[in-house]
Structures are given as C-alpha cells and as structure tokens.
Amino acid sequence: MNGVVTATLAATAAVLVAPPASAAATTLYVSPSGTGTTCSDTKPCALTQAQAAVRSLNDAMSDDIVVQLADGVYRLPAPLRLTADDSGSNGHTGRAQANQRWNVNADGPITGVQSGLCLDASGSGTANGTKVHLWSCHGGTNQQWIRR
C-alpha cells in the first residue's frame, strides 16, 4: 500500500495492547466462552464479568490489574464502554492485552495465526487513520502490506 497507514481496529470491543505485566500485577483471564466470576487461567470469565471485577478492585488498587484476553471473537449485546473506572487508581493501571500472533507473508498479506484471516484496510483506504480489520483473504490491494 502507498503511504503509511495508522491502524485503528474496528471491533465490537476495544483491545489495548500493552507491555507485559509486572510480576506484582493482578491478572484476570477472559475467554469468549468464559463463565462465572473466577477469571483465572483455568476458569476464565466473560469480558463483561472481568470489567465488573476490575471496577470492584479499582478504588483499593495496590498493584496493576491486567485483563488477559484469550484468542477468539467476543460477541457482546452492546459495545463495551470503558471509563475511568476501568483505568486504575492509586498510581496503578488497569489494562487489557491480547496474545495476537501474525504471519507477515513475503507476498504481501498479513494473516492472523489463529484465524487465518487477512489484515484488511477498510474501504481500500490508504490515509492515516484508516480502519483495519480481519477479513477473508482475497488478494486485493487493501490486503497488501509493505514492510519498512
């Protein structure tokens, strides 16, 4: 693609990518099929339950809180609204991170390891701020990327 594209993910829920959590962080684990309130690595909870857990911990934070998102599609009945109640207090942060993995293919497309879908510039846009999303690979110019 010509020019530099600043990627803005168009998704049902916003996912913030952050550096790895420090050793002292409280980690809540989330899965698209998660249930219950445990939010552990063996019993992940739903995205909305993790948000409720973060909000209940927010006022008395003594370390960072990380919401670890498992791979998959999070289908929500309404957009997930993030507010100051989701961002931390007492000098600590609340953040979400995903373990997304990508293949940067020599012939131009970037594909998601888990989904096999291509990174696609919405509307074949090339301007800064063009939204990108995962889409079925079709070889179009809006799925061709140049490594610089």
**Element of type H or E holding 102:** strand 102-104
Which of 19-23, 59-63, 108-112, 137-141 has maximum average pLDDT?
Answer: 137-141
Question: How many Å separate Cα 127 from the centre of its chain?
Answer: 22
pTM here? Answer: 0.53
pLDDT of residue 100: 66
What pLDDT, on a 0 to 100 scale, did the predictor assign at position 40? 93
Kindly report the average pLDDT of the chain as a whole number. 79
Return the biggest CA–CA distance within the chain.
50
Confidence of residue 29 (pLDDT cuts 50, 70, 90): very high
Nearest to 36 by CA among 52, 21, 25: 52
Q: Which residues contact 43 (CB under 8 A, 6 or more apart)?
A: 34, 36
Residue type, 104: V
